[in-house]
Amino acid sequence: MQPINTLHGFFVRSGATVSLYHLGRRVEPCEMSTLAAFEAGELAWPTPWQGQARLGLVFRLGEMHDPLIWFLALPLDEQGQLVPAPRDAFLQRLMETLGRSVGREDGQAVDNLMKDNPLVFTPSLPFQALLHARASHDLGMSASQHLEPVEAYLSGQQEIDWWALGLQGLADFVVRMGADDQARLASRLPALPGEALTSLCYCLENVAIGADLARALQDRGEAAASTGDIETFSACVRAVAGADSDLAGPWYDALLADADACGPDLLAAMAGRGWHHLEDAERLPNFLTRLAGREDADFVSVARDLALVPRLRLPVLMTLREAAPESPIGRRLAALNR
């Protein structure tokens, strides 16, 4: 029997039922074929985050009743490819753990494998809520008990204290919302308290949104910016990242044209959640120029992270290479070489 030398191979050989999710730039489903090609060295990781391929794996082995959830952060090299040694060490430990627990079906031994494991990470609370919401939906399971009060509140049917709304309920709502839900939410958005809107945006930034909701978020974002509410403004920018580029792109362009708007929070929102809208011949150089011009922004870290995104790698490198020496980008690069 061939040895198991990949995560993909382990799940195939074990007969596990697996749902795989990206947990880097946003929470979204990931095909097992993507993991297979990545581990085979045929594919750079499509959504890198801080030099890692961050994954959520929801799976059952044998007769397990409740699925196990692993959060793994696989290190990437400078080309966005897998650094295999940490993955290999994880698999070796996994095989040893399974070898010591033959006949056990409760999964506890496998679950204990994750304790003190260097590949394990803890996602933010919104990411955890989104993963549970997506996995429950994808597995045909019911949403959490928190969904019903969120639906009543966001539809305007029930005026309850928004503090009572759970983040899990918001995550369940955005994962399951249809076109009608989005329309009702768009009309409700102007009346939402800022704190409730921010929590909602943490969830919306992980899903695709339509034109009406995108425009409502842009209006709230602009209103927040006018009053100096940077947190709400940035949250709206992040949430609008889920809209089509013909909607989000023009807003990004307008913001990048305004030097006063381009603070570190806005630039981080664009790079972290709206990276796919930066795939534009003018928008990407404008973004990198603004980023380089902010002394309070981590130009090197953000530019390096964007360059790991396969579709952005060449455009980012070309923009850096072609920057005039006296430009903000040129000056930043010169400072690195001193």
Q: Are residues 204 and 78 in the same domain?
A: no
Kindly indicate the confidence band of residue 109, based on its pLDDT and cuts at 50, 70 and 90. Answer: low
Residue 1 lies in a domain: no
Across 55-65, average pLDDT = 87
Kindly indicate the confidence band of residue 186, based on its pLDDT and cuts at 50, 70 and 90. Answer: very high
Residue whose pair of structure tokens reads 């102007």 in the numeric block? 190
Structural domains counted in the chain = 2
d(CA 125, CA 275) in angstroms, rounded, equals 22
Global pTM value: 0.91
Q: Are residues 140 and 199 in the same domain?
A: yes
Q: Are residues 104 and 250 in the same domain?
A: no
Q: Are residues 108 and 130 in the same domain?
A: no
Question: What's residue 250's pLDDT?
Answer: 97
Residue 308 lies in a domain: yes
Q: Does the pLDDT of residue 105 top 50, yes or no?
A: no
Q: Does the pLDDT of residue 8 top 80, yes or no?
A: yes
Among 112, 142, 174, give the residue marking a domain's end. 112
Residue 239 lies in a domain: yes
Q: How far is CA 200 from the centre of its chain?
A: 15
Question: Where is pLDDT greater, at 262 or 3?
Answer: 262
Q: DSSP alpha helices (H): ranges in 40-124?
A: 84-99, 108-112
Q: Are residues 56 and 155 in the same domain?
A: no
Q: DSSP alpha helices (H): ranges in 103-229?
A: 108-112, 125-138, 147-154, 167-176, 179-188, 194-204, 211-226
Domain that holds residue 15: 7-112
* Tokens (6 digits) for 197: 């809107």
CATH label of the domain that carries residue 281:
1.25.10
Q: Are residues 58 and 199 in the same domain?
A: no
Q: Are residues 185 and 208 in the same domain?
A: yes
Q: Are residues 107 and 27 in the same domain?
A: yes
d(CA 259, CA 266) in angstroms, rounded, equals 11
Across 63-82, average pLDDT = 92
Q: Are residues 66 and 132 in the same domain?
A: no
Q: Does the pLDDT of residue 333 top 60, yes or no?
A: yes
In sequence order, the 6+-apart residues with CB closer than 8 A to the CB of 14 are: 61
Looking at the chain, the whole-number percentage of residues with pLDDT higher than 70 is 93
Q: Are residues 157 and 271 in the same domain?
A: yes
Q: Are residues 139 and 257 in the same domain?
A: yes
